Amino acid sequence: MVTDDMTIVFGGNAGQGIRSTGLGFIKAIARSGLFPFGRQDYRSRIRGGHNFFEIRVARKQVYSHTEGIDLLVAITEDTVTEHLDEIVEGGGVIYDDDLDVDAEEMEEKGVKPYPVPLEQIAMEEGGAKIMANTAAIGAIIGLTGFDISYIEGIIEENFAVKGDEVVKNNLDVANAGVEYVNSHGYSSNYDLEPIPESGERMVINGNQAFALGAVAGGCNFISAYPMTPSTSVLEWITKHSKELNIVTKQPESELAAVNMAIGASHVGARALVTTSGGGFSLMVEALGLSGMTETPLVIAEVSRPGPSTGLPTRTGQGDLMSIVHASQGDFPRIVLTPGTIQEAFQAGARSFNLAEKYQMPVITLSDQHLADSVRAVDPDVIDMEGAEIDRGEFLTEEELDALEEPYLRHKFTEGGVSPRAVPGHENAVYKTTGNEHTEKGDITEDPELRTKMMDKRAKKAKTALKKDIEPPVAEGPEDAEVSLVCWGSTYGAVKEALEKLEEEGVSANLCHLKDAWPLPADPVVDFLEGAEKTVIVEGNDSGEMKKLISQETGKVVDHEILKYDGRPFTPEYIVQKVEEVI
């Protein structure tokens, strides 16, 4: 019987190629027409310590991982110890027959042991123990009937740079893994049958999608002090910086990084700075400088659990209130909270338009789960050609040449946005400052001017809310028994929880905020007022979005499902908690 949905986990120590093996297998799955969802769980160390890469394989598009493991590939004994109780009845463990594991214990739990001499196969067929992971892939193929040609294609591509001999050795190792399983009569309950002619898909994670969106949105400058889990945005853009003509800077600190981005934006660049919560905390003073000088600034804050160093490689949603209220004094900013690959791409492109259109900081708040999770999406999800560039009230050379009145950088306007010119033109000589200032940019302490300038800046947020802040995504029946509110990466698990609740006879719908600030209050109120019972789902311990909604609308969400152990939600966890609420 063809398998509709299964989960495979590769486990081992950091430095044993767990991630690269998982990513290679995901690409093969995607090319076969099946739908993967992959996530990595890794410790904050370079070598040693248990890591694992989890791959869900389904015959339809999936948005989250799920609980339960069908096949566990154990490169270390710790992997079996860590995950044995998570393996579903009838599932199995592929492990090197030299590992000291208890096969009888597995069988008592209804789990099938599949000892395979992975390292021996790697040495005999490939000449190197490092190919044991390739042998394990072969064993998976043997147990699931997956078409090996898809794996062979990935091997040929991945190892081509190392020469024909390395390619051949890995192919031999993979085939030997298949042969060993078949020849020893191993069998499983799983049958991964390809979906032919399903079309091309792009295998991509959230950080890569955001980086591509930034490129599509015209980003031409990035500065960052590397900080997990945001670093891969900087790495990807830096890797392609020459062909994309993007200036990249890695300065000595987070404060230097954000100030560089502000300086680059001041002279006309579309500038990006990437960080996580701890780094963002160090950028807060400069965030105020962007707000006061009305300099466009884009920040990608990919969060992890705090406080302080917290859990550097885990996920969490504890930075929302920090970002919405960061810096001394009042000034507007926009906060985007994407929850999918497509929304991450869109946020990467939109953020630059919003920053320049309203001349303010725009922060995309993501987290480790979305950043590192991998899906296979249709190419039109990443629409590089369709992204429009809107520079707002940006004066061209021709407009500056024709300017007859003195240029006022902070001119009072009906919507609060002043015409912007980059330094250098003779008709646009101006100054700006972090102090309060006049329309011309001169420092002032005049109380009337101070009030007018504060009102001017505040107008921009109101204008953005009316014109450019997108309403929440709503899914499910309007007359649902329970209504779930979510934001950011929790969307995938909540979306799949709706289906599981429906299967159990509970009607549910969802409201997903992909733009969090200014809060799109009217549609949120409409959703809450039309709901019978409301539950918010978020990855923090204080219900930050719940508080924000109450603060801005006066409406209180009835119940909350909070998770703050550093691990992402699963649909099953949400269903269990919703049923407790009901």
Q: Give 149-202 pLDDT, tens digit per residue.
A: 999 999 999 999 899 999 999 999 999 999 999 999 999 999 999 998 888 899
What pLDDT was estimated at residue 244?
96
What pLDDT was estimated at residue 14?
83
What pLDDT was estimated at residue 1?
73
Q: Which fold has domain 5-183?
A: Pyruvate-ferredoxin Oxidoreductase; domain 3 (3.40.920)
**Angle of helix 341-358 versus helix 206-216 axis, rounded to 10:** 40
Q: What tokens does 21 get?
A: 């093996």
Q: Which amino acid is at 549?
A: I
What pLDDT was estimated at residue 106?
95
Detail the DSSP E strand segments found in 170-266.
202-205, 221-224, 247-249
Is the pLDDT at 344 greater than 90, yes or no? yes
**Average pLDDT rounded to a whole number, residues 108-123:** 96
Measured CA to CA, the distance from residue 560 to residue 368 in angstroms comes to 22
Please give the mean pLDDT across all residues of the chain: 95
Rounded to 5°, angle at Cα 359 from 342 and 219:
45
Q: Collapsing DSSP states into helix, strand and coil, what is residue 490?
A: helix
User: Using an 8 Å Cβ cutoff, are 275 and 254 in contact?
Assistant: yes
Residue 54: which H helix or E strand, with range? strand 50-58
Measured CA to CA, the distance from residue 320 to residue 300 in angstroms comes to 13
User: Using an 8 Å Cβ cutoff, are 389 and 218 in contact?
Assistant: yes
Percent of the chain whose predicted confidence (pLDDT) is above 90: 93
Q: 317 falls in which pLDDT band (50, 70, 90)? A: very high
Is the pLDDT at 537 greater than 90, yes or no? yes
Q: What is the CATH number of domain 203-381?
A: 3.40.50.970
Measured CA to CA, the distance from residue 401 to residue 407 in angstroms comes to 11
Domains 5-183 and 203-381 share a fold: no
Q: What tokens does 432 get?
A: 């700006």
Q: Phi-psi region for residue 276, left (φ > 0), alpha (ψ -120 to 50) or beta?
A: beta
Q: Give 388-441 pLDDT, tens digit per residue.
A: 999 999 999 999 999 989 999 999 999 999 999 999 899 989 999 999 999 999
Measured CA to CA, the distance from residue 529 to residue 153 in angstroms comes to 53
**Average pLDDT rounded to a whole number, residues 323-342:** 96
Measured CA to CA, the distance from residue 501 to residue 486 in angstroms comes to 16
Give me the architecture of the 473-581 domain, per CATH: 3-Layer(aba) Sandwich (3.40)
Measured CA to CA, the distance from residue 390 to residue 400 in angstroms comes to 19
What pLDDT was estimated at residue 47?
76
The DSSP line for 516-557 is: EES--HHHHHHHHHT-SSEEEEESSSS-HHHHHHHHHHS---
Which stretch, 2-6, 395-399, 464-468, 546-550, has highest mean pLDDT? 546-550
Measured CA to CA, the distance from residue 322 to residue 308 in angstroms comes to 13
Q: 204 falls in which pLDDT band (50, 70, 90)? A: very high
Locate the domains of the chain by residue range: 5-183, 203-381, 397-467, 473-581
**Average pLDDT rounded to a whole number, residues 5-9:** 97
Q: Give 346-391 pLDDT, tens digit per residue.
A: 999 999 999 999 999 999 999 999 999 999 999 999 998 888 999 9
Is the pLDDT at 46 greater than 80, yes or no? no
What pLDDT was estimated at residue 15?
82
Q: 336 falls in which pLDDT band (50, 70, 90)? A: very high
